[in-house]
Amino acid sequence: MTDPATRIMQDPYPVTPFTCPAAAKVSVPGSKSITNRALLIAALADGKTTLANCLFSRDTEIMLDALATLGIAIDAHPSEKRITVTGCGGLIPNRNAKLNIGNSGTSARFLTAMLAICPDGEFELDGDEAMRKRPIQKLVDTLVELGCAIDTSNGFFPIRIHPSGLNGGTAVVDASESSQFVSALLMAAPYAKDALEITLSDATIRRGYINLTLKMMESFGIPPLNLHSSKETYQANPSPYLAPTSEYTIESDASAASYFIALPLAVGGTVEIEGVSKYSLQGDLAFTGIAEQAGADLEWTPQSLIVRTELEYKPVTSMSANFYAFSDTFLTAAAIAPLANGPTRITGIGHTRHQECDRIEAMASGLASLGQSVHETESSIEITPSLLNPATIETYEDHRVAMSFAILGSHDALGDGKPWLKIVDPLCCRKTFPDFFNTLESARQQSLQHAAI
């Protein structure tokens, strides 16, 4: 057998199917969303914060490099999944900097709002070609309304920030493209000159990650009474962050867990996912409901989630649903939809056309190349299962496209145990789950060993 560490270097990467039902225990990394929020808040806090179970990936490394460039003291230990941050108490040391944000949406939005709190300075933020296609104008408009001078490139990166402190007051935010605009403003709000009230131009936006942001702010010393939310508004009063007295543990990533929640639906059997909690703050854990709808049985333990299927008795059923509130996982459902016993229609995902790539188009193109009947609209995709054809999947540098289709490739579509699906640019998974393909291969090997007993 080829060593997984060697196989991952193949591009395109051939996914080896499971030839027996899954019988595996896996771990998923810490949440990217929580890691980058925690890094930014810890950098602003008064005191030293130790973060445990951190994700070390391309996106979090971009945030770490940016904070270091701004003069924040960082002590990172990747082998221990631990980072210690010495906060600046809201006074960013380096007031003149050029920051490379790659294609990290969280870094781009969070840092833009963070830098607006500075009383002076000049900052340039720029990323790769994909980031230069991701809009930032709506967040910029709000920050300008709050007193920050920002020059954009026709609403896109690169941008130049000339801060003079963040005014309080009321600001209207159009967060239809990303709820991260609201989270970015809320995380900066404790250092505004006055109370900040954010009025949503569209009250139907996804709230899961905003609620997560508020809970994290409370963990870093913001009194709950200083944070208010209603159907249409959020308000935060000035109150400095304080480093927690004990280490802050990053939750395991619910989005990453979705791939291994889906694996038993693709190959049958049982997968135990360590570190996933039923009481997670992450909205993407709602994918467990989709898995149950499709026919999986779930068992929660204090330390893990166990997912079981008996495909010989209970075939996969349609995963049709509105994925608006947990849209990062729509790709997982779309990828394994060819294995369902009927069409799957996924709605509420129009905003994903403006993420790492046009995710609806990417999934539609990949599924069509596999012989599936696909119909897409501006905000939905419908997949009607058909015979699967071997294909090479273009990933458009999008980690979620790669990981989702890898789960489908684990299904032994040809019945001979040979790879039939290949993934272009497998290393794009470094964005959030650097060890994904090794973890998937480990699950396959565990299953073979179990079958041989």
137-188 residue pLDDT tens: 999 999 999 999 999 999 999 999 999 999 999 999 988 888 899 999 999 9
Tell me: do 181 and 275 sit in the same domain. Answer: no
Q: Cα angle at 143 between 324 and 253, to 5 degrees?
A: 35
Q: Which of 59, 328, 398, 425 is labelled catalytic?
A: 328
Tell me: do 204 and 220 sit in the same domain. Answer: yes
Residue 32 exposure: Cα atoms within 13 Å on the Cβ side: 24
Tell me: do 143 and 268 sit in the same domain. Answer: no
- Determine the pLDDT at residue 9: 63
Q: Is residue 278 part of a domain?
A: yes
On average, the pLDDT of the chain sits at 95
CB under 8 Å to 148, separation ≥6 — which residues? 116, 161, 162, 163, 164, 166
Per the CB < 8 A criterion, the answer to whether 55 and 39 are in contact is no
pLDDT digits (tens, 9 = 90+) for 180-200: 999 999 999 999 999 999 999
Tell me: do 104 and 24 sit in the same domain. Answer: no
Tell me: do 50 and 79 sit in the same domain. Answer: yes
What are the angstrom distances between the C-alpha of 62 and each of 102, 155, 180? 7, 22, 17
- In terms of residue numbers, what domain contains 66? 32-238
Tell me: do 23 and 43 sit in the same domain. Answer: no
Rg, the chain, Cα only = 22
Residue 7 pLDDT greater than 70, yes or no: no
State the total domains in the chain: 2
Tell me: do 330 and 196 sit in the same domain. Answer: no
Does residue 416 carry a catalytic annotation? no
Residue 250 exposure: Cα atoms within 13 Å on the Cβ side: 30
Contacts of range 379-382, beta carbons closer than 8 Å, 24 or more positions apart: 379/347, 379/348, 379/349, 379/350, 380/345, 380/346, 380/347, 380/348, 380/349, 380/350, 381/330, 381/334, 381/345, 381/346, 381/349, 382/343, 382/344, 382/345, 382/346
Q: Is residue 299 part of a domain?
A: yes
CB under 8 Å to 170, separation ≥6 — which residues? 197, 198, 199
CATH number of the domain at 441, please. 3.65.10.10
pLDDT digits (tens, 9 = 90+) for 198-228: 999 888 888 889 999 999 999 999 999 999 9
- Determine the pLDDT at residue 451: 96
Tell me: do 20 and 106 sit in the same domain. Answer: no
Tell me: do 14 and 61 sit in the same domain. Answer: no
Q: What would the two tokens of residue 195 be?
A: 């109370």
Tell me: do 263 and 223 sit in the same domain. Answer: no
Which amino acid type is present at position 377? T
Q: Is residue 189 part of a domain?
A: yes
Per the CB < 8 A criterion, the answer to whether 296 and 316 are in contact is no
Strand partners, 309: 269
Residue 319 exposure: Cα atoms within 13 Å on the Cβ side: 32
Tell me: do 137 and 68 sit in the same domain. Answer: yes
Q: CA–CA separation, 345 vs 332, rounded Å? A: 13
Whole-structure pTM value = 0.87
